[in-house]
């Protein structure tokens, strides 16, 4: 069985903050704030999707620092297949908070009490977040109400001596969710 390795030139000279469903997430700094842009380098017909500016960020982020202000971006699905039904979650800021954007909305929801997020994953239709203190929380993104999604603590924080900061949420080949502390 042979493998084919594709080398694709990305038209942006920017850092990628995540990849999901063939899409790369980059960050651009504009006058209104930071913009997360989604692009699919494997589909020539797919346009670049620029999400609404995260205008709260511009107060905390200068142009030279914007490349480090967003840590990770994930997508719930392929925006070209589900243009009206995808969700983007970002880990941002120096204290690693969460922000959620749903297709069709005009702004981001900044999640209250989402400090020190180490990793985030979409798993079985939900968002799960691991904190740097060892706790795991879920985020209900299917809330039909106008209220922003709320974090629900699933596991308690670990004692201070177990603080790692290097925590990962991984879906196994069998479909299980693993919380890995390194």
The CA distance from 19 to 123, in Å, is 15
**Higher-confidence position of 57 and 159:** 159
| pLDDT for position 160 | 56
For residue 65, the cross-strand partners are: none
Band (pLDDT 50/70/90 cuts) for residue 76 is: very high
Range of the domain at 70: 18-181
The CA distance from 81 to 83, in Å, is 6
Mean pLDDT of the chain: 82
The answer to whether the beta carbons of residues 35 and 53 sit under 8 Å apart is yes
Number of folded domains in the chain? Answer: 1
Q: Does residue 5 lie in a domain region?
A: no
Q: Does residue 1 lie in a domain region?
A: no
Residue of 16, 43, 14, 42 whose CA lies nearest to 30 = 14
Count Cα atoms within 13 angstroms, Cβ side, for 46. 20
């Amino acid at each position: 069985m042979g493998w084919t390795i594709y080398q694709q030139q990305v038209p942006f000279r920017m850092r990628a903050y995540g990849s999901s469903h063939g899409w790369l997430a980059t960050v651009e700094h504009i006058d209104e704030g930071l913009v997360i842009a989604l692009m699919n380098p494997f589909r020539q017909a797919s346009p670049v999707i620029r999400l609404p500016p995260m205008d709260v960020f511009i107060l905390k982020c200068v142009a030279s620092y914007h490349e480090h202000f967003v840590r990770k971006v994930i997508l719930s699905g392929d925006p070209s297949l589900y243009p009206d039904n995808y969700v983007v979650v970002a880990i941002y800021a120096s204290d690693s908070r969460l922000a959620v954007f749903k297709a069709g909305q005009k702004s981001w929801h900044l999640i209250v009490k989402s400090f020190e997020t180490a990793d985030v994953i979409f798993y079985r239709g939900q968002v799960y977040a691991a904190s740097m203190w060892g706790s795991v929380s879920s985020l209900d993104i299917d809330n039909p109400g106008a209220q922003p999604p709320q974090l629900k603590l699933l596991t308690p924080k670990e004692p201070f001596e177990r603080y790692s900061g290097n925590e990962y949420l991984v879906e196994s080949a069998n479909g299980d969710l693993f919380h890995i502390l390194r």
